[in-house]
A and B are shown apart, each in its own frame.
Chain A
Amino acid sequence: AQTVTQSQPEMSVQEAETVTLSCTYDTSESDYYLFWYKQPPSRQMILVIRQEAYKQQNATENRFSVNFQKAAKSFSLKISDSQLGDAAMYFCAYYSGAGSYQLTFGKGTKLSVIP
């Protein structure tokens, strides 16, 4: 079974600085998708960024970028120029669509942004 591990329960960053959130996963599949979702307090979960495993190029979305290391099964999220609105729970998630349609989530990292 696939597992997703986020080893940092909490992180903090100064406003305008850069922070990196870590995620590792375990799978025997070769083709899959990885996601970072953001869940602000009492608000719905929204997709931040996605990465297809077959793509070597790391995904970027404005201030958000990933470092995808397929061999190491590592998928970290870098947030540049952190803003107060970035404060939230961040979840790493895995999807393969091969035999199962579920997203497998990590336990999350709570990110605080210090003004």
Chain B
Amino acid sequence: DTGVSQNPRHKITKRGQNVTFRCDPISEHNRLYWYRQTLGQGPEFLTYFQNEAQLEKSRLLSDRFSAERPKGSFSTLEIQRTEQGDSAMYLCASSSLGRSTGAEAFFGQGTRLTVV
């Protein structure tokens, strides 16, 4: 296990289509996060899982977005009816439990979504 893995690395889709991204966290990490990063900006928080439970969601996460983490292992982020404004880098991160170690997130390489 060499780190957080995200697939695909790049996705081009037509407006209105659905897309799904996958994240495999570091195996012993209980916490998993999704962030979105647009050009020239820092990452913005989308949602947080502790094991299989989705404990926190940002107001950025519209009803077209849904995330799951079945069995507390990998996670998927689905965007339905994509819009051009959804074009961004989607980052996944994981961390261990514990307030100190849990603060330190390890990031994947991201999935770059382009909606045309």
- Within 8 Å CB of B3, what residues of A? 44
A53 to B41, CA, bound (A): 25
Give the dominant DSSP class at A's interface: strand
Minimum distance in angstroms from A78 CB to a CB of chain B:
20
Give the dominant DSSP class at B's interface: mixed
Q: Is B104 engaged at the interface, CB distance under 8 Å to the other chain?
A: yes
Give the total number of A-B pairs whose CB atoms are below 8 A apart.
60
Minimum distance in angstroms from B12 CB to a CB of chain A:
17
Considering only CB atoms and an 8 Å cut-off, how many residues of chain B contact the other chain? 29
Q: Is A91 engaged at the interface, CB distance under 8 Å to the other chain?
A: yes
- Within 8 Å CB of B40, what residues of A? 107-108
**B21-29, B63-71, B77-85, B107-115: which lies at the A interface?**
B107-115
- Within 8 Å CB of A44, what residues of B? 3-4, 107-110
Closest partner residue, chain B, to A98 (CB atom): B99
With A44-B109, A45-B91, A46-B107 in contact, is A97–B99 under 8 Å at CB? yes
Q: Mark A38-64, 1 if CB is under 8 A from B, else 0.
A: 000001111100101000000000000
- Within 8 Å CB of B58, what residues of A? 102
Considering only CB atoms and an 8 Å cut-off, how many residues of chain A contact the other chain? 24
**Contact (Cβ within 8 A) A102 B103:** no
Closest partner residue, chain A, to B58 (CB atom): A102
Minimum distance in angstroms from A96 CB to a CB of chain B:
9
Select which of B4, B45, B55, B99 is within 8 A of A103 by beta carbon: B45
Minimum distance in angstroms from B47 CB to a CB of chain A:
9
**Contact (Cβ within 8 A) A103 B41:** no
Q: Is A68 engaged at the interface, CB distance under 8 Å to the other chain?
A: no
A41 to B109, CA, bound (A): 11
* A-to-B contact residues, CB < 8 Å: 4, 33, 35, 37, 43-47, 50, 52, 91, 93, 95, 97, 100-108
* B-to-A contact residues, CB < 8 Å: 3-4, 31, 33, 35, 40-45, 48, 50, 55-56, 58, 91, 93, 99-100, 102-110
A-B contacts, 30 of them at CB < 8 A, read: A33-B100, A33-B103, A35-B103, A35-B104, A37-B107, A43-B109, A44-B4, A44-B107, A45-B43, A45-B91, A45-B107, A47-B104, A47-B106, A91-B42, A91-B43, A95-B103, A97-B102, A101-B56, A101-B102, A102-B48, A102-B56, A102-B58, A103-B33, A103-B45, A103-B93, A103-B105, A105-B43, A105-B44, A108-B40, A108-B41
